[in-house]
Structure 1
Amino acid sequence: MSQEDKIVNVEVYLVSLDQETPYLGPLINEEKASEMGYFVREVNRTVYAIKNKSLVVRVLTENGVEGWGETYGLIAHEATAAIIRDLFKGFIIGRNPMNVVTIYEDLYDLMRVRGYTGGFYHDALAAVDIALWDILGKIVKQPISRLLGGIRNSSIPGYISGLPDADIDKRCQLAVSWQKKGFNSFKFALPMATEGLVEEFKQLRKALGNEASIGCDMHWSKTPGETIELIQEAQPYRPWFFEAPIKTEDVNGLKWIAQKSNGKIAVGEEWRTVFDAKARIDIQACQIVQPEMAHTGITQFMRIAGYAQAHNLTVIPHATIGSGIFLAASLQASASLQNCVAHEFQHSIFPEFMHYTTGDMKCEAGHYQLPTGNGIGVNPTEEMKSNMTLL
């Protein structure tokens, strides 16, 4: 295919990922859904959707190459879709898709004066960036991981994320069931830990044994002082890491926790760019970095991971609700990293929707298998396309 190809269309779709049980687990106590289908978790005061959704972007070139990207569509998806449809599209059409990073930087700069360096704006940019990298890989007939420096690992350790059940006994049983399938790394969500963080560690350690790795996602719900106290109390149960302990804007509080406690602090899922990472890494406020491909796109994912490596930090990418497209992109990028030691596995999401994408991407016996196709390695199946609504 000619490298003089040009982009001729950009489309954005809403994809339903509806499940019987909401993300993280059933509603508890006073939690209830609004008219728009949103509800707030009591522990972290954060909004979630009763029915999961995702935004998928299709970029088409004159020579018929199509690239696929994806970002979050859980909350107010029209905001993200409008940025892609009403703003980005007009500045992408006619561009050479080989100029991936150049296009990314031009789109990023469009709203610099207005300060839109994150949130919905960068989510929209992340989806477009993934799609453009996908096109680049397809044009040169290579997987993205090779274009990012080479494949270091075609198999990446996956950890079981979230144990969406209403009581601690069932959560322990769920963890054990995955341990029997070959997984030995786990993370529970504090909003669903009905008996508290320390008791959750205690019971999971008892159920899973001494060799299992057990982390906790604290969902930005504690103060620095509370976090240090909880980390100390959890030490007998050998915690793996403590994720997102306090409000993300409290950078100095995060530094205090990282330096005053003996727990490993993991952060980064809400970051969009390397500038978010720099603000925390420069002051030694974390030990583990967790870039989320649906927020960063490939370009910033690699910049964040590179900055973490330069500071001798490990990377454990975050991955939440999606159809499999941004997960494939995340695995491609992760496979090229020297400092990636594990990758989140949403066991309640990916297996249920893995038929939405083509290719051989899978997570079995404790490891992800890197998709082997060109670009990001996956494309939407006909079943997924039938469940996509053009916005």
Structure 2
Amino acid sequence: MSTRVKTVEVYSITIPRETIYLGEPRPGETVNEKGYIVRKGNRTVYPTSDRTVVVRIETADGAIGWGETYGIVAPGAAMAIVDDLLGPYVVGRDPRDVVVIHEDLYDLMRVRGYTGGFYLDALAAIDIALWDLCGKLSGLPLVKLLGGQRHEKLPAYISGLPKRTRTERAAFAAEWQAKGFSSFKFAAPVADDGIVAEIESLRETLGPSARIACDMHWAHTADQAIAAIRAMEPHRLWFAEAPVKPEDVDGLARVAANITTTVAAGEEWRTVFDLVARVEKRACGIVQPEMGHKGVTEFMRIGQYAQAHHLEVIPHATIGIGLFMAASLHASAALSAVTCHEYQHSIFEPNRRLVTGDMDCREGFYTLPNGPGLGVEPSEEAISLLQQYR
């Protein structure tokens, strides 16, 4: 019997949505022929369907590991990187050398400046699949391979209120509050009456004990962000996420130094090196690793570095079928600095049928899936939707 990798295959899945992510188009926002829409509030492109990239790694003795990464925009880019470059360098390797493989694959392109974007997304999918294999080969859930389970369940916050009006969004948040959720985040680009009016309505509806955060979507200069956050602070803003452009490290630090609210950042980062630069400048108090952009290896490095510098970790959630959602929950449960985890209800709930297992989020808490590795696999329906790279 051999534990060496025999094949690495990559697929895409497209899942239609009833409502476009972040809600229906605003005035001036149109869907193009590729199914993309650009949100005017942050000038960022989104698909009108959920799309994801899935990696399947099989060993010579038939063990299978599954991984997943972002495929919401140009999924063929990440797929080509897996198929043409990364996959062949994984074939023949022992999947139990998962961190070593991650470092080897990262080194392949680091001198060319490929420290982010599609390359690291593709690497994340492979990394997750290898960790899934490690768990299955050992018969252990992923969290046990990462040092042990610190959290039996993880507090979750409601992310996104995809309704058309401010009144409807506040009422929608109240519906989730009635289901046992006490923490919420709204998206500034679709706060049509302004972010101050948005948080004011939410606070009035949800009451004084609810935690309310604002995702500012990298749309401001430092001065604009400071003014906007200060205007929200009388309404007890929980945290301000992504207040300035990702590359503006100095601006992020300036914002953090001039407000009383905690700054959150990190969704778009790919490696621990992104965090090192922000820690040096004391640019944020909450770190938000996103499993689909990082993979298990970098997610844990970021989380442990954050812990060593006494930062809070509130992971970003996923946009996919649930494979890297499961990986995120396992990794989060192993980190003492994790205090909450994003719950993208408009994605998690409709797409949960696409994975097997008992991963769940109810009454304000996530529970980890049971079983070896990730504890989840693509369902029969998901398998039927897989489209192989051509």
TM-score band (shorter)? over 0.9
2:286 to 288, 310, 333: 288
1:226 to 224, 227, 233: 224
Structure 2 counterparts to residues 89-100 of structure 1, below 5 A: 89-100=87-98
2:371 to 341, 363, 373: 373
Matched-pair identity in %? 53
2:303 to 302, 305, 326: 305
Counterpart residue identity of residue 66, structure 2: W
The aligned counterpart of 1:328 is 326
- SS in structure 1 at match of 2:357: coil
Counterpart residue identity of residue 13, structure 1: Y
Please report how far the alpha carbon of residue 262 of structure 1 lies from its aligned counterpart in structure 2 after TM superposition.
Answer: 0.9
Counterpart residue identity of residue 299, structure 1: T
With 9-18 and 77-86 compared, the bigger mean Cα shift is at 9-18
Quick check: 1:175 aligned with 2:173? yes
Counterpart residue identity of residue 155, structure 1: K
Structure 2 counterparts to residues 108-257 of structure 1, below 5 A: 108-257=106-255
Counterpart residue identity of residue 195, structure 1: D
Whole-angstrom distance in 2 between the partners of 1:24 and 1:176: 18
TM-score (norm 1): 0.98
For structure 1, list consecutive stretches of 5 or more residues without a partner in the other structure: none
Q: Deviations over 1:85-129 (max 9, x none)?
A: 000111011111110001111100001121101100000000000
> Is the 8 Å Cα contact of residues 318 and 324 (structure 2) preserved in structure 1?
no
> Is the 8 Å Cα contact of residues 17 and 322 (structure 1) preserved in structure 2?
no
Whole-angstrom distance in 1 between the partners of 2:266 and 2:291: 11
Counterpart residue identity of residue 172, structure 1: A
Please report how far the alpha carbon of residue 293 of structure 1 lies from its aligned counterpart in structure 2 after TM superposition.
Answer: 0.1
Counterpart residue identity of residue 20, structure 1: E
> Is the 8 Å Cα contact of residues 190 and 219 (structure 1) preserved in structure 2?
yes
- SS in structure 2 at match of 1:340: coil
TM-score (norm 2): 0.99
Please report how far the alpha carbon of residue 320 of structure 1 lies from its aligned counterpart in structure 2 after TM superposition.
Answer: 3.1
The aligned counterpart of 2:5 is 7
1:38 to 36, 39, 44: 36
The aligned counterpart of 2:314 is 316
With 283-292 and 220-229 compared, the bigger mean Cα shift is at 220-229
Whole-angstrom distance in 1 between the partners of 2:54 and 2:164: 31
Runs of 4+ in 1 over 2 A off after TM superposition: none
Q: Deviations over 1:171-195 (max 9, x none)?
A: 0111000000000100000111001
Counterpart residue identity of residue 164, structure 1: P
Counterpart residue identity of residue 126, structure 1: A
> Is the 8 Å Cα contact of residues 291 and 318 (structure 2) preserved in structure 1?
no
The aligned counterpart of 1:27 is 25
> Is the 8 Å Cα contact of residues 55 and 70 (structure 1) preserved in structure 2?
yes
Q: Deviations over 1:303-345 (max 9, x none)?
A: 0001111110000000131100000000000000010000000
Please report how far the alpha carbon of residue 238 of structure 1 lies from its aligned counterpart in structure 2 after TM superposition.
Answer: 0.4
> Is the 8 Å Cα contact of residues 69 and 122 (structure 2) preserved in structure 1?
yes
Please report how far the alpha carbon of residue 383 of structure 1 lies from its aligned counterpart in structure 2 after TM superposition.
Answer: 1.0
Q: Deviations over 1:47-101 (max 9, x none)?
A: 1111220001100011111000000111111110000000011101111111000
> Is the 8 Å Cα contact of residues 48 and 74 (structure 1) preserved in structure 2?
yes
Counterpart residue identity of residue 117, structure 2: G
The aligned counterpart of 1:104 is 102
1:277 to 275, 289, 297: 275
Whole-angstrom distance in 1 between the partners of 2:74 and 2:14: 14
> Is the 8 Å Cα contact of residues 356 and 379 (structure 2) preserved in structure 1?
yes
RMSD across aligned C-alpha pairs, in angstroms?
Answer: 0.8
Aligned residues: 389
Counterpart residue identity of residue 353, structure 1: N
Whole-angstrom distance in 2 between the partners of 1:17 and 1:290: 26
For structure 2, list consecutive stretches of 5 or more residues without a partner in the other structure: none
